[in-house]
Structure 1
Amino acid sequence: MHFLTYSLLRLAVLVAVFLLSMWLGVGLILSGIAAVAISFAVSYLFFPRLHAAAGDEFRGWISRTPRPRNRVALEDQEVEDAYVDRRLREEGRES
């Protein structure tokens, strides 16, 4: 939910700055560049907690392997990872 909120907030700032720049007669390309730069700066400086929460949420979405929820599954995963790493070292291919 944080990722969607942060993205919509940033898009709203981008559109507002772009429309304001176009209304002032700055030009299409310069308005676009200004809108991107200002929306990045405003969202990064004034919404740092939302930025961090959105980043954590996105990182969770793209993680390749889900983290086990219980202790036994976590221990099993660590043993399997150690075994694979050892086999790769024995074959001469480091991970």
Structure 2
Amino acid sequence: MNFLKYSLLRFGLMIVVFLLCMWLNVGLILSGVFAILIAFAVSYLAFPKLHVAAGQDMQRWFSKRRKDTPQKKAVAEDTEIEDEYAEQKRREEGIDF
């Protein structure tokens, strides 16, 4: 939810700056560039807690998606089997770590 709030805030700031620049006859391309840069800077500096919370939301969303993949489960199972085999060989050879 914080990601949505932060995104809407940045988009709103971008629209306001763009319209202000267009009203001042800055030009279409420069208005767009100014809008993007100013919205980024203001939202990053003025709302740091919301920025961090939005980043954490994204991190949770991506980590949740990565955990559920069948490939990750297969890799985890393979790693567990390999570790078990290596531990058994160490015990047989009498090697301690």
Give per-residue Cα distances to partners, 1:21-63, cap 9 Å, x unaligned.
0000000000000000000000000000000000000111111
- What is the aligned length? 75
* Alignment partner, residue 61 of structure 1: 61
Task: Give the Å deviation of 1:83.
Answer: 2.4
CA distance in 2, matches of 1:59, 1:29: 33
Structure 2 gaps of 5+ residues are 69-75, 85-97
Query: So what's the TM-score if we normalise by structure 2?
Result: 0.69
- Structure 1 segments, 4+ long, off by >4 Å, are 79-82, 84-87
Q: Find the residue that maps to 2:67 and give its secondary structure.
A: coil
Match of 1:83 among 61, 76, 80: 80
What do you get for the CA RMSD once the two structures are aligned? 2.2
Q: Which has the larger radius of gyration?
A: 2
Structure-2 change in CA distance of 1:81 and 1:13 (3 Å): farther
Higher percent of residues as helix: 2
CA distance in 2, matches of 1:85, 1:11: 50
Query: So what's the TM-score if we normalise by structure 1?
Result: 0.70
Structure-2 change in CA distance of 1:28 and 1:86 (3 Å): farther
CA distance in 2, matches of 1:59, 1:82: 25
The answer to whether 1:36 aligns with 2:33 is no
Determine what percentage of the aligned residue pairs are the same residue: 56
| One-letter identity of the residue aligned with 1:4 | L
Structure-2 change in CA distance of 1:82 and 1:31 (3 Å): same
The answer to whether 1:8 aligns with 2:5 is no
Structure 1 gaps of 5+ residues are 67-78, 88-95
